[in-house]
Amino acid sequence: MSALLELHAIRKAFAGVRVLDDVSLKLAPGEIVSLLGPSGCGKSTLLRIAAGLDEDFSGGVAHNPLLGFGNGSGIGVVFQEPRLLPWLNVAQNIGFADERRADADWIEQLLRDVGLAGQGDKLPKQLSGGMAQRVAIARGLYNRPQVLLLDEPFSAVDAFTRMKLQDLVANLAQHYGIALLLVTHDLDEAFYLSDRVLILGGNPSRIQRELAVPLSRPRDRRAAELAYLRGTALTELAL
């Protein structure tokens, strides 16, 4: 199995109403893939299935057995909201999975990686929205995952902070060799970050189209190729 993560023929229903039907995807090592589609199309539901947070579905989820899955370190998750525990400081939130056995040196490295060096003693209430999401990203990386799942992680911050966080995540993924599966409804974000964009749609939702992004990194947000791909996706979503 060459893929790190594979979802096969996923079907999911809520109260007897099917929301996902025959959805399959693969995520290769080091690859960035975005799930793009309108609100309510099942993007976040599919991510929860991939993360193992929702087991009430039909179909299959397979992890590469050679890359650490099964010991808790294969997958990291970053949610739409930071979900920091308010009674713990930043460092404790990052290492929460290990509680009292947390690796302090690794936490300090992650704080440097996300641009928060020296901020480990702060409480969540002392952080801006962008800083809190940086902490959430560091927490998602704490267990050294091979795959990081991100559920609209930049939607609650302003546009400038959002662009900085996009670059941060892309750089960290490249630095640590991590594959990303990103849920978004933002066309600019999807094509700027991704190697492939999967468009979900229909009723129930299926993958309507896959668009490859054959551009090297770092990327220029103003590139004509990105504008063309955004237009193609917008046309698909409007159908």
How many Å from the N-terminal Cα to the C-terminal Cα in the chain? Answer: 35
pLDDT for the residue numbered 150: 97
Residue 72, pLDDT above cutoff 50: no
Across 78-98, b (16+ Cβ under 10 Å) vs e yields: bbbebebeeeebbbbbbbeee
pLDDT tens track for 88-139: 999 999 999 887 789 999 999 999 999 999 999 999 999 999 999 999 999 9
Report the share of the chain in percent with pLDDT over 70.
96
- Residue 176 maps to which CATH number? 3.40.50.300
200 is in which domain, residue-wise? 29-57+64-238
pLDDT for the residue numbered 66: 56
pLDDT for the residue numbered 74: 85
Question: pLDDT band at residue 239, thresholds of 50, 70 and 90?
Answer: confident
Residue 102 inside a domain? The answer is yes
Tokens in use for 204? 């129930």
Residue 40, pLDDT above cutoff 70: yes
Residue 70 inside a domain? The answer is yes
Residue 81 inside a domain? The answer is yes
Report the share of the chain in percent with pLDDT over 90.
86
**Considering the entire predicted model, what is its pTM?**
0.93
Q: Report how far residue 139's alpha carbon sits from residue 159's, in angstroms, rounded to the nearest whole number.
A: 23
Q: Report how far residue 182's alpha carbon sits from residue 96's, in angstroms, rounded to the nearest whole number.
A: 23
Q: Report how far residue 164's alpha carbon sits from residue 136's, in angstroms, rounded to the nearest whole number.
A: 15
Residue 24 inside a domain? The answer is no
Residue 110 inside a domain? The answer is yes
Residue 9 inside a domain? The answer is no
Residue 97 inside a domain? The answer is yes
How many domains are there within the chain? 1
Residue 15 inside a domain? The answer is no
